[in-house]
Amino acid sequence: MQIFNTMSRKKETFVPLIPGRVSIYSCGPTVYNYFHLGNARPFITFDTLRRYFEYQGYQVDFVQNFTDIDDKMINKANAEGTTVKELADQFIKEYYVDAKGLNIKEATHHPRATESMVEIVRLIETLVEKGYAYTADDGVYYSVRKFPDYCGLSHFDIDELVQNSRKDVLVDSGKQDPVDFALWKFRKENEPFWPSPWAEGRPGWHIECSAMSKKYLGESIDIHSGGQDLIFPHHENEIAQSEAASGKQFVRYWMHNGFINVNGEKMSKSEGNFFLVRDVANKFGYMPIRLFMLSSHYRTPINYTPDLLNAAASGFARIQTAMKTLNFVLASPLEPSNAEAAAAQKASLEEACRLAVEHFEAAMDDDLNTADALGSIFELVRIANTESAAPLSQEGLVLAKDTLERLCEVMGFSFVEEGAIPQEVLDLAEARQVAKKERNFALADSLRAEIQQRGYRITDTPQGPHIEAEA
């Protein structure tokens, strides 16, 4: 598999640290609100990456954190008259509701920053002991210029960063350099705090992820992922902290997804131009959101419009309908009268499935090109629909169904089973069959119309009537 590495700015062949095993740390949400479409993109993207590694037979150790202490959390809790912990508890619970709807697998570990204070303090102590950190008036800071590889990920110029920084920060905090960043912030009024060797306080944002990554995955990991907005300063600072402390390469492959834009501007809570996942799901469903995200390459920006979600909803309905049709056709054993035609259909479906898998894997191996991989799924859907209209080969259709299920599983598509058809609808369908046998077509049409009025559609097939709820 080729992965575009943000560090080298080129595609590289993926080789795991440990054969057969992949370690991934993906930056998770700050849990002070429901998550929006922009937040959802990395969750869906890197859940799909994980699924593809598992499809390939790897054991995946996937860590996605919850940032449950930072300025946004504190400000929101104070504004609402609640505690930071109560706020975090509420929105972590809500995260799981939407994540389940999007069929995002639970991480191997979902740590909260506040549950790793011992590891955070210990890591800061190591940085102080090694001379990479110092104590100022309001906290403990990382001395950026002590780390010679700083800006290796973002490729920024450190001197330009100094010129663009606020000079008053030096006076207010006692920082030695404008580019230095906080590892530990000393206690302030109306803020949560924890003990430390320096003073009571709370961690800076960047040190939290370094500590949690080390705690659950070790000092060196295969992949670190997140949105492009995290490249600087967050991921740049993680590298500086982790590598200064361990003396080892922190991450082998850095992966970053593009933004979801609205009218050409990045979707964000601070700009107020965001759409909550659950609000969009209430209108279009969760799975169309997932298809919408995966229909573009993960590194390219997507401009959100309702029309694109409508198209995704139609696309997902095509896949779902094909799966339902295959299940219906295969519910009864096929007994073709023409063995030669059945053999031809089997051969045709076997070739279609082989090509679908081959093209799907080639696309996914090319830097997780889900857009092209989806093309393989839709082509197989087209062929399966054609062949299931005149079903002859049980083996061929079973293979098509199984292949579609496997590929859709990698994409994270979930096909929720419908509830049972009401008995009165089944009775109407049976009465319609009797009317057709008696050639009472007017009555049969009337019964079809009554079934439709009850919200169901009936389709005549060689295997008998197929009843399903109207979309």
State whether 254 and 312 are in the same domain. no
State whether 260 and 315 are in the same domain. no
pLDDT, position 166: 61
State whether 124 and 254 are in the same domain. yes
State whether 8 and 74 are in the same domain. yes
Residue 135 domain flag = yes
Domain that holds residue 17: 2-286
Q: Tell me the pTM.
A: 0.88
Residue 299 domain flag = no
What CATH number is given to the structural domain containing 378? Answer: 1.20.120
State whether 117 and 43 are in the same domain. yes
Residue 145 domain flag = yes
Token pair 């573009």: residue:
296
State whether 345 and 455 are in the same domain. no
Residue 127 domain flag = yes
What CATH number is given to the structural domain containing 101? Answer: 3.40.50.620
Residue 278 domain flag = yes
State whether 155 and 177 are in the same domain. yes
Q: What is the pLDDT along the chain (471 residues), one digit of tens a residue?
A: 999 999 999 999 999 999 999 999 999 999 999 999 999 999 999 999 999 999 999 999 999 999 999 999 999 999 999 999 999 999 999 999 999 999 999 999 999 999 999 999 999 999 999 999 999 999 999 999 999 999 999 999 998 888 876 655 555 567 899 999 999 999 999 999 999 999 999 999 999 999 999 999 999 999 999 999 999 999 999 999 999 999 999 999 999 999 999 988 888 877 778 899 999 999 999 999 999 999 999 999 999 999 999 999 999 999 999 999 999 999 888 888 899 999 999 999 999 999 999 999 999 999 999 999 999 999 999 999 999 999 999 999 999 999 999 999 999 999 875 455 778 888 898 889 888 888 999 998 999 988 988 888 888 876 678 787 775
State whether 223 and 327 are in the same domain. no
Q: Print the SS3 string covering the chain.
A: CEEEECCCCEEEECCCCECCEEEEEECCCECCCCCEHHHHHHHHHHHHHHHHHHHCCCEEEEEECEECCCHHHHHHHHHHCCCHHHHHHHHHHHHHHHHHHCCCCCCCECCEHHHHHHHHHHHHHHHHHCCCEEECCCEEEECHHHCCCCCCCCCCCHHHHHHHCCCHHHHHHCCCCCCCEEEEEECCCCCCCECCCCCCEEECHHHHHHHHHHHHHCCCEEEEEEEHHHHHHHHHHHHHHHHHHHCCCCEEEEEEECCEEECCEECCCCCCCCCEHHHHHHHHCHHHHHHHHHCCCCCCCEECCHHHHHHHHHHHHHHHHHHHHHHHHCCCCCCCCCHHHHHHHHHHHHHHHHHHHHHHHHHHHECCCHHHHHHHHHHHHHHHHHHHCCCCCHHHHHHHHHHHHHHHHHHCCCCCCCCCCCHHHHHHHHHHHHHHHCCCHHHHHHHHHHHHHCCEEEEEECCEEEEEECC
State whether 324 and 377 are in the same domain. yes
Residue 26 domain flag = yes
CB–CB of 121/165 below 8 Å? Answer: no
State whether 204 and 348 are in the same domain. no
State whether 8 and 110 are in the same domain. yes
Residue 7 domain flag = yes
Residue 401 domain flag = yes
pLDDT, position 219: 99
What's the total number of domains in the chain?
3
pLDDT, position 199: 98
State whether 46 and 183 are in the same domain. yes
pLDDT, position 172: 55
pLDDT, position 463: 61
pLDDT, position 164: 76
